[in-house]
Amino acid sequence: MTTAALKEKRRQGRWNALLLAPSGLWYLMLLILPLIVILVYSVGERAPTGGYQAGFTFDNYLNIGARWTAFKNTLLLAPTGTLICLLAGYPLAYFLAVKANPRTRLFLLILVVVPFWTSFLIRTYAWMFILGGRGLPHLLELIGIEGVRFINTPFAVLVGIVYAYLPLMVFPIFVSLEKLDKRLLEASDDLGASPFATFRQITLPLSAPGMITGCMLVFILLMGEYLIPQMLGGGKVFFIGNALVDLFLQSLNWPFGSACAMALVFIMMVTVGLYLKATRATGGRDVSLM
């Protein structure tokens, strides 16, 4: 390598360091440091008046069983919600990317995304309204079906989940379907494949990156969900997030709360890690969020 090239390379290196410095600092101060603090707290003890007291014990982790219901609800409803979003969202993304009139396509896509732009709280609150005693159950009573209750059930929480996160699933699938080279579909058709075979062998695999991104986004957000179970599950269907709020803000048991938070992060990392590994193993390149 010539000296000029070497010099250029060094200059480039300095540039890169400069460009990465602010974000690097942010990651250090607001991600690494807080996570270390929470890790340290998770092996500490609860101070008599609440809060944290130095110590080294694994009791907090061993005690997680005390909040088993929260973990069970989350691990059951988060994957279920993600799956329903995928099943409900895929046909719409397919319709928008492949079947919709190109002139109205952008408008229709914006219509899907707009609800996502409106307040999450207000949207969830709308379902409190609809599923609550004076909403749907009241209407059902009028036609003679009595004693139906929606609010504060897992069903209400799932409705809230699908309603809130469907746009997030549709968008990445739409993007990957739109990028799909339509000539491939024609080629498949010309070669005598049935529409279903074309869909299964071309469209579906090629839209896998979008589906994976969508599922990851929805699943990640659901694992830490607080508002939907809080508002639509009442005190009955609560997630880990609700347990954490209780532990940190009500019972002031910071060490136990930290242990639960670490457990949540751990479960997520493992799930997502396995997921990425599986998608890489099946030959999917560039399917990650990056």
Token digits of residue 254: 């910071």
Residue 22: CB minimum distance to other proteins, A: 4
By beta-carbon proximity to other proteins, the closer residue of 134 and 183 is 134
Token digits of residue 40: 């340290």
Residue 73: CB minimum distance to other proteins, A: 15
Alpha-carbon span 226 to 243, nearest angstrom: 9
By beta-carbon proximity to other proteins, the closer residue of 160 and 188 is 160
Q: Which of 129, 199, 121, 201 is closest to 164 using CA atoms?
A: 121
By beta-carbon proximity to other proteins, the closer residue of 79 and 191 is 79
Residue 68: CB minimum distance to other proteins, A: 18
By beta-carbon proximity to other proteins, the closer residue of 20 and 278 is 20
What is the chain's alpha carbon radius of gyration, rounded to the nearest angstrom? 24
Q: Which of 267, 265, 254 is closest to 79 using CA atoms?
A: 267
154-179 and 68-94 helices, crossing angle to 10°: 40
By beta-carbon proximity to other proteins, the closer residue of 53 and 192 is 53
Q: In Å, what is the CA distance from 209 to each residue of 76, 109, 214, 220?
A: 24, 19, 8, 16
Residue 280: CB minimum distance to other proteins, A: 14
Alpha-carbon span 248 to 264, nearest angstrom: 15
- SS3 label, residue 212: helix
Alpha-carbon span 175 to 104, nearest angstrom: 16
By beta-carbon proximity to other proteins, the closer residue of 41 and 71 is 41
Residue 83: CB minimum distance to other proteins, A: 16
Residue 52, H or E segment: strand 52-53
Residue 130 CB coordination number (10 Å): 17
Residue 143: CB minimum distance to other proteins, A: 19
